[in-house]
Structure 1
Amino acid sequence: MHREPDRRKSGPTRRAVFRTIAGVAAATAAGGYAWTRLGDEAGDQEGAGRGTSGAGSDGAATGPRTFERLSGPDRTVVRGGDGDTLATFTDGARTAVFTGPSRTFSEPRTTDATVTTDAWVRVLPHTWQRGMEKADWFSGWFGKTLGDSSPDVFAVSFQYSSAGAADKHDSHGLRYAGTAHFGPRNTDVENPLDFAFHDERSDFYDYLGADWTFPDGTRAQPEKARYGDVDCSGFQRLVWGYRMGIPLHNTNTAGAGLPRRAYAIAAHGPGRLVIPDNRRTPTDLGSLQPGDLVFFAIIKDRPDFIDHCGMYLGLDDGGRHRFYSSRSAANGPTMGDLSGHSLLDGTDFYARGFRAARRL
């Protein structure tokens, strides 16, 4: 579970207010709010989502708040009247982490581990800067988002789980969510646990089976053989770009938004690095926050080359730092342990290859 440092004593008040928020969100559609994300249709309420203002019995959602500045990285922490963390906003990033009802994510097909978290990862309408809580838009947006029960980044990500996820279609019949696979079968490789057993190079528009025009006018066309497939970076572009609205571009150089490959996202992606790539395995993971993108050098012959990326989920039930990524062995998005444990700490394959982290 994710916690910002809390310098005042907290009690059961926060748990009570978020139980209230969850109840209000489930029971109150009228008076709530809705928005349409890229790839969602206004008529698809599960995709677009509804929320409420989230008023709680002790006023934590609508009452006095304090805004505390912390460093490493520089960020603003919002606390309620009881001192508990309500949300965290990082300078230079659009990723916001709210405290909400606890959820458990699991994938029994590939691991016994579970991740239970009260972190709800949202995307800010603007890149956060110090003092932005005083902006005209912030108060209304914050009140709505604090009580929002619609799918956040984590929930959207698991709408593509290789362990099985229900198909979702927009009003035009486009399947925008449902079980994703990594890529077409590579017939030259026999071992299903080999990293090349399924071919990479499948981007978000391959999964969708739809043409895509990028802001620079570049037009991409999906390959029919890759329909329903996304490789590791394509999966992050599908979630953060297509679904959550962060801009995308189609190169591996610096540009507005998310570039194509994992190494390019690590080097040129939006947001800020919270763990820089020093070409060695980081030993201090204290700066990580749920939703951070994590990057790995996993090619034996190129130990300094970033070739895989995933999304940090937080601590699992064993107290280990677990991530979620699209991988060949699981044939799609996984938090599991096929052909390497999905862990950042320890001495396993991915932990040894872990190099950097970026907060979008």
Structure 2
Amino acid sequence: MAPAAAAAPAAFAGTAGGSLTGVTIAGNDASAYASLSLGTLTAVPLSGTPAQLSVRHGDTEVALLTTGARTVRLAGPERTFVENKKPFTDDFDRERPADWGNSPAGGAWSTVNGADTDYTVRPGTGTIVLSSANLSRHATLLDDMITDVDVRVDGSFDRAPAGAALSFALSFGYQDTKNHCRARVVLNPGGTAELRIEREQADTTTLLTPAVALPSSSGTVPWSIRVRRTGDLVEVRAWQTAGAEPTAWTAKVTDSVFRQGRVGVRALASTGSTNLPVRLRVTRFRVTEGSWAVTPAVTHREWIRLLPEPFDGVWTTALEQTVRAWAGSTAPDVLAYAFMFVAGAPEVRSVALGGARVLGEAGYGPTAADGTRDEGADFHEYMGLPWTFPVGGTSPAPDDSWHDNLDCSGYIRMVYGHHSGVPLAAGDDPARTALPRRSHDQSLRAPGVTLARAVGQPPATSQLRPGDLLFFDAEASESGEIDHVGIYLGTDHADRRRFLSSRKTPNGPTMADLGGPSTLDGEGLYARTLRTVHRI
């Protein structure tokens, strides 16, 4: 049994949303040199099912092996996994007849006030219809945890104001329609315009700084609004989109209210408007940086490596040599590889595969016409290569739209199969020697040991360890068929059990909570729908 590959970077520190996203390893950690200090190792069988063997140096557990599984859990240097908000741009490249659907990686749009059909998307434009005066319309992204943020919106009205002003605003710190901050461009009849930075609190509006006059316009000219919030400092720019973005901020203000909340768009036709209905057409909404109030983080000393064959329950000299070689190693393990596909992960290409991309931030799948994400991106589609499998034949090279994407089961196959050496099947494998393609088949026939399974409710999780596969009936089907899979990562700083999985709403692998908590605790979707725990 060979030891892990030669040392290579086991961590990355990428910037996603203005704060650290990635894996960091504690410096000057003596456990990194464990292979030098290990004396006699003792193998102690543990009671229970499945059979497990605890390998110890004195009273300290060095490794845990499971009979029937290749997975070995090792004690090693402490490391922390962190994920912050992912930058994104919504160009509204979809078709939605009665809502704004989902943004690409920014979450789902929520709309308030007016009829559902007042909010539509045609390729290139998100539209809000103002059919009555003095009733604001709001479209916000369902992400309530945003604090510091750099966000921009581009939009215009299809008619010039008449009788009274038209305005559209970039909302931030949004709690609800009566509690939020906004940077608002006001277009008056006659062509004058101004920028107002406002806080609406309990339905009372406060002007946070004197209004700033903007260049006159026809009323239908596109405008851009950019807000950068850092702590209590709010900086705003507003300009006509056809021109260059100003180098100076149009206005600045400090305000400590509503430091956390959603971002979005507000539109209003003031009392006295005579040209209704009028349409606000938004062509772009972009978050270039953003931070969550509570950044998901998991810290522990567990490293997950795979034996070349399942452990047969017998402690041998060769196996001891492997464990000793692994002790303290910071060479990439299963969890390090898994984190090399989250937002901000750097690209790595394989010379052996002709320069194909084998690591780096992944999406979930190409976008369908309605803005949802298509399933079907396997590991070789991410790489853009055809693939011949030991079980099931050959899959052709994918269309370009599938490149750099991994659906939930494709993500598992990339991490455990391509990078960790578990054989892969083109489809299913009734013999359980190779990892199947679909999550449902993986839950039944993945190589290894099933630790817990339940029907219609979450199973017991007392044996759950980092690296274990988690299978969910997320769509709550009548048949109970598994439709989602993830990798258990560990307990976060709030004692919630977090997992990694590739998901549609965040558009790719994530341990965070956009579109639903990636946790097994509480009443969230995945906490309710966990059905199987499996160890490869």
> Which among 116, 133, 150 is matched to residue 299 of structure 2?
116
Deviation at 1:84, TM superposition (A): 1.1
> Does structure 1 residue 354 correspond to structure 2 residue 523?
no
- Structure of higher CA gyration radius: 2
Give the corresponding residue for 1:22. none
Task: Using the TM superposition, give the Cα deviation of residue 268 of structure 1 relative to its aligned residue in structure 2, in angstroms.
Answer: 0.6
- Is 1:144 paired with 2:325? yes
Q: CA deviation at 1:279?
A: 3.1
**1:333 maps onto 2:303 in alignment:** no
Aligned partner of 1:288 among 457, 460, 464 = 464
Are 1:80 and 2:50 counterparts?
A: no
Q: 1:165 aligns with which of 345, 353, 368?
A: 345
Please give the alpha-carbon distance, in whole angstroms, between the structure 2 residues aligned to 1:290 and 1:232: 17
Deviation at 1:301, TM superposition (A): 4.2
Counterpart mapping for 1:231-270 below 5 A: 231-255=407-431, 256-270=433-447
Instruction: From the superposition, tell whether residues 214 and 53 of structure 1 become closer, same or farther in structure 2 (CA, over 3 Å).
Output: farther
Compared CA separation, residues 45 and 149, structure 1 to 2 (3 A): closer
Residue 209 of structure 1 aligns with which residue?
384
Secondary structure at the counterpart of residue 206 of structure 1: helix
Q: Which residue of 2 aligns with 1:192?
A: none
How far is the alpha carbon of 1:188 from its aligned partner?
A: 2.0
| Structure 1: 5+ residue stretches without partners | 1-32, 37-43, 190-196
Match of 2:65 among 89, 92, 99: 89
Name the aligned partner's letter for residue 117 of structure 1.
Answer: H
- Identify the range of structure 1 (305-314 vs 272-281) with the bigger mean alpha-carbon deviation: 272-281
Report the Cα distance in structure 2 between the residues aligned to 1:65 and 1:301, rounded to whole angstroms.
Answer: 48
Query: Structure 1 CA distance, aligned partners of 2:56 and 2:335?
Result: 23
- The Cα RMSD (Å) is 2.1
Q: 1:55 Cα shift?
A: 3.3
Kept in 2: contact 1:253–1:268 (CA 8 A): yes
Determine the structure 2 residue equivalent to 1:185: 367
Shift of 1:223: 2.6
**Residue equivalent to 1:194:** none
Write the letter of the residue equivalent to 1:204.
Answer: F
SS of match in other structure, 1:55: helix
Normalising by structure 1, we get a TM-score of 0.79
Deviation at 1:253, TM superposition (A): 4.2
Give CA deviations for 1:228-282 in whole Å, capped at 9, x if unaligned. 0110000000010001100000123413210011110000110010012333222
List per-residue Cα deviations over 1:79-132 (Å, max 9, x = no partner). 112x0111100010001110001111011117622100100000112211212x
Aligned pairs (5 A) from 1:19-38: 35=5
The residue number in structure 2 matching 1:271 is: 448
Counterpart amino acid of 2:424?
A: L
1:155 matches 2:336: yes
CA distance in 2 between counterparts of 1:155 and 1:210 reads 23
Superposed CA deviations along residues 1-31 of structure 1, whole A, max 9, x for unmatched, are xxxxxxxxxxxxxxxxxxxxxxxxxxxxxxx
- Return the offset for 1:300: 4.1
CA contact (8 A) 2:349 2:355 kept: yes
Instruction: Say which structure is richer in strand.
Output: 2
Contact 1:272 1:358 (8 Å CA) reproduced:
yes
Any unmatched runs of 5+ in structure 2? 11-31, 87-291
Q: CA deviation at 1:139?
A: 2.5
TM-score of the aligned structures, taking structure 2 as reference length? 0.54
Q: CA deviation at 1:138?
A: 1.3
Return the letter of the residue paired with 2:344.
G
2:308 alignment partner, SS class: coil
Q: Which residue number corresponds to residue 43 of structure 2?
A: 67
For residue 308 of structure 1, what is the aligned residue in structure 2?
Answer: 484
Q: Residue 340 of structure 2 aligns to a residue in which SS?
A: helix
Structure 1 residues 303, 330: CA separation in 2 closer, same or farther (over 3 Å shift)? Answer: farther
Cα-to-partner distance string for 1:280-327 (whole Å, 9 max, x where unaligned) = 222x32110110000000114446110000000111111111110000
Q: In structure 2, do the counterparts of structure 1 residues 253 and 140 end up closer, same or farther at CA, with 3 Å as the change threshold?
A: closer
CA gap of 1:301–1:75, structure 2 versus 1, over 3 A, is closer
Q: State the partner residue of 2:394.
A: 219
Measured in 1, the distance between the counterparts of 2:507 and 2:370 equals: 16
Q: CA deviation at 1:346?
A: 1.7
Residues 281 and 351 in structure 1, CA contact (< 8 A), matched pair in contact too: yes
Q: Number of aligned pairs?
A: 302
SS of residue paired to 1:355: strand
From the superposition, tell whether residues 72 and 316 of structure 1 become closer, same or farther in structure 2 (CA, over 3 Å).
farther
- Opposite residue 511 of structure 2, the aligned amino acid is M
Amino acid at match of 2:308: P
Relative to structure 2, which stretch is displaced further, 114-123 or 246-255? 246-255
Look up the match of 1:19. none
Matched residue type, 1:75? Q
Deviations 1:194-249 (A, max 9, x none): xxx21111101100101100114611122321000110000000010001100000
| Aligned residues of 1:53 and 1:145 also touching (Cα < 8 A) | no
CA shift, 1:45, in A, is: 4.8
